[in-house]
Amino acid sequence: MIRYDLDLEYLKTFQAVADFGSMHRAAEERHMTQPAVTRQMGILAREVGVPLFRRFGRGIRLTAAGEVLLKESRDIFRHVEEGLGRVREIGERDLTRLKLGSSHYVAANALVAPVRAFRKECPEVRIEFLCGSSEAMADKVRSGDLDLAVATLPARSEGLRRIRLWTDTFAAALSTETPLARKERVTLEELSGEPMLLPPSRSTTRLLIDRAFRKRRLYPVQVTELETLEEIAAAVAMTFGAAILPVRLFSLPSLHASHIAVRPIEGFDQTRDLGVLVRKGKTLRPQERALVTILERMREEVGAGSPQDA
């Protein structure tokens, strides 16, 4: 029975012997001694179990079995070369592709300038972009479906390396038509009496808002969950209720500013960190390092605070 760990060098030597019809010429071609070639061919014949050569005058010729092995061995090396070529192609594509994820909020509020700068700096890199909740983006980074993501940093960092870019503070968002909008500041007690528009209960932002209410033993009289902060802001402008939103969100020019009153919340000290998520233990490829460097370099445009590993 042939060993499946048979050295492919034996097959290369076998091909040289078959091509030249001579152990001596094959040894010269392979930069080996003739006894070494003879020894390899003896081992190969024993492994195959049948004679591969026969004497023909001063040279040698292949047996019928040798002819078959020659064809098969050439196919083997062709398949190996084709396979290595495909591997190289994938490796080259890997160096020109970046799978980037972002939360809706970050995509709308902080990612345009850094990505535009990255595309100018690395025009050969094709970005595959995915947008969703911060929690979904974190899961996809953990699983390797994304190379990195820019989103709210989760409280639990299992499987993730977190690079903080900025910290969000919060304010109350009120319809300009509600009586609360006439006040300079509002309290959590006053907000709890309003219909509240909140992000999904599983989100990091919702958890910190709920934590603030629980600390005061308050429970909003009515809660409507909406998927994104931008949807919540639009619902506030449509007079559907009040919300607690990141202050930075109101810097967006399209955020219905004329219909929303932004007010500080007394006693609300909750914040959230946003930044880059990378799978723990992952070595950043050049294009990933380039984007992270741009995000850190442009932090004055992205947000306040100096970046640091969390």
**CB-count exposure of residue 172 (10 Å: 0-12, 13-18, 19+):** buried
Set out the domains of the chain in order of their start, with CATH numbers. Answer: 8-93 (1.10.10.10), 97-166+274-309 (3.40.190.10), 170-266 (3.40.190.10)
Note the pLDDT tens digit of each residue in 11-26: 999 999 999 999 999 9
Interatomic CA distance for residues 205 and 201, integer angstroms: 9
Q: Are 155 and 279 in contact (CB under 8 A)?
A: no
Interatomic CA distance for residues 74 and 85, integer angstroms: 16
Q: What is the pTM of this model?
A: 0.65
Interatomic CA distance for residues 24 and 143, integer angstroms: 56
User: Does residue 301 surpass a pLDDT of 70?
Assistant: no
Interatomic CA distance for residues 244 and 206, integer angstroms: 9
User: Does residue 302 surpass a pLDDT of 90?
Assistant: no
Interatomic CA distance for residues 44 and 53, integer angstroms: 11
Per-residue confidence (pLDDT) for residue 299, from 0 to 100: 67
* Percent of the chain whose predicted confidence (pLDDT) is above 70: 89
Q: Looking at residues 106-126, what average pLDDT do you find?
A: 92
Interatomic CA distance for residues 124 and 4, integer angstroms: 42
The HSE-up count of residue 26 (CA atoms within 13 Å, CB side) is 25
Query: Across-strand partners of 136?
Result: none
Radius of gyration of the chain (CA): 33
- The residue whose two tokens read 């047996």 is 63
Note the pLDDT tens digit of each residue in 203-212: 999 999 999 9
User: Does residue 83 surpass a pLDDT of 50?
Assistant: yes
